[in-house]
Structure 1
């Protein structure tokens, strides 16, 4: 089963680059005598994603997919290598010139996030949660546009509701609206359907598709679910912190088959 996004795939020629990683490495632990085992979560990752594409990142538990997302999104710094978002260097490891304050500002303007647990503030309404990134960045809030975005994710009649008055699927729609409102170059989604029922998950995945083909965003989604991955334009596989192949136009069965044999033949193009 293939959930087509009705647009050119990520291999389309002449498309601007939204995200580039160059020889990115990340190690957790020191491996010293204190019993702290060093784990190479990312091992020399080089990757380029064109603008206006939807990429799923998949791999076994511990393969480095969440670390890849966190480093690419500026939530964590790589030990070495380069991360470029929308043509601007975001971080280049511990020696990067961009300090924490500048990095935070950069994330607020160029990057959007959708997490598994929504990360909504319980005391704020749907509308207030949605505009929070604008408020934090000191940017003007265009109320009409905010209402338009919330209507586009099916929450036009829920602006005054708080998270405890919403279903899980509705909370994730708020998170998507919040990610869209700053007009980011790239939206990073970390297991965005992991806490949802099948129908809500399908709705959220369609909204992420629309973020790409209607709003022109680039979406990078970490998922363990072949069904979720089938909504993407392409799947990038990871194994043991290294790239392990790419699958354009993924289907549920093809992704599941590839995952079952991941590691048998890493670094193979699909």
Structure 2
């Protein structure tokens, strides 16, 4: 772990709609995450988890506030943002988003080729071995299990050595065994390779694999838990729900 800041949000606000139909998805959220850390983001449905990820990753522009990845502000034209995301941001979603006509190797190297860069065969081989797919290079997605497909998606996110990887419910479509393997892989990526990872999840067991958990409610950060256990996360979520119910939310 280093003291280098990988991600910073300064007063980020995101509003959907206008007038009476206005919905505040994020309300002046500020946070700082060091490089080489694994952070889970949790909260009730509608708390702003996915919006936080979208804004932090540069997929949505905040209504107000600023976002910095690896010290650089996410600003500029859509073309500039797309180029920056290709080089500095990795994504892993619940849906694997693999191209069925491409092999494992072709899917994993796609971001590099889209960026117009030379494929580093050594780096690709290292990543595929890391995720346990070194012997599946010529397979296509339909020839793999769900857990293997998600590992392809993780390898695709890792291969460019991004500043931050954002994972949105990445284990939601997996069985327990595959989910556990994916979460262990995330931990290895952080601890062994110094990757920075932000995981949005509703699952206390998944969140317990992170170094710390941020809790969101009503578009605000309302709690922080270091060295989480599944039991502690579940208890905090329960109290969070009770607090919201008490406020009539």
TM-score calculated relative to the size of structure 1 = 0.88
Equivalent position of 2:240 in the other structure? 262
SS at match of 2:61: coil
Residue 151 of structure 1: CA displacement?
1.2
CA distance in 2 between partners of 1:77 and 1:182 (Å): 23
Q: Which residue of 2 aligns with 1:241?
A: 219
Match of 1:23 in 2: 11
Determine if the alignment matches structure 1 residue 119 to structure 2 residue 103.
no
Confirm whether residue 56 of structure 1 aligns to residue 51 of structure 2. Answer: no
1:74 aligns with 2:62: no
Q: Deviations over 1:29-55 (max 9, x none)?
A: 1134xxxx2110000000000110000
Q: Are 1:90 and 2:77 matched, yes or no?
A: no
* 2:44–2:241 CA contact under 8 A, matched in 1: no
1:148 paired residue number: 126
Q: Deviations over 1:181-217 (max 9, x none)?
A: 0110100000000000000000000111111112211
Aligned residues: 244
Counterpart residue number, 1:131: 109
What SS class does the counterpart of residue 44 from structure 1 fall into? Answer: strand
Q: CA deviation at 1:264?
A: 5.2
After superposition, what is the alpha-carbon deviation per residue over 1:5-63, rounded to whole angstroms, capped at 9, x for unaligned? xxx6xxxxx7111000000000111134xxxx211000000000011000000000000
Residues 212 and 227 in structure 2, CA contact (< 8 A), matched pair in contact too: yes
Find the counterpart in structure 2 of residue 41 from structure 1: 25
| Alpha carbons 1:239, 1:263 under 8 Å: kept | no
Q: Which runs of 5 or more residues in structure 1 are unaligned?
A: 1-7, 9-13, 92-97
Q: Is contact 2:128-2:155 (8 Å) kept?
A: yes
Deviates more, 1:121-130 or 1:255-264: 255-264
Shift of 1:144: 2.5
TM-score by length of 2: 0.95
The aligned residue for residue 247 of structure 2 is none
1:181 aligned residue (144, 159, 173): 159
Q: Secondary structure at the match of 1:261?
A: helix
* Gapped regions of structure 2 (runs ≥ 5): 245-249
Deviations 1:105-126 (A, max 9, x none): 0000010000000111111000
Deviating above 4 A after TM superposition, structure 1's stretches of 4 or more consecutive aligned residues are 263-266
Q: Is the 8 A contact 2:108 2:155 kept in 1?
A: yes
C-alpha distance in structure 2 between counterparts of 1:226 and 1:75, whole Å: 26
SS of the aligned residue for 2:74 comes to strand
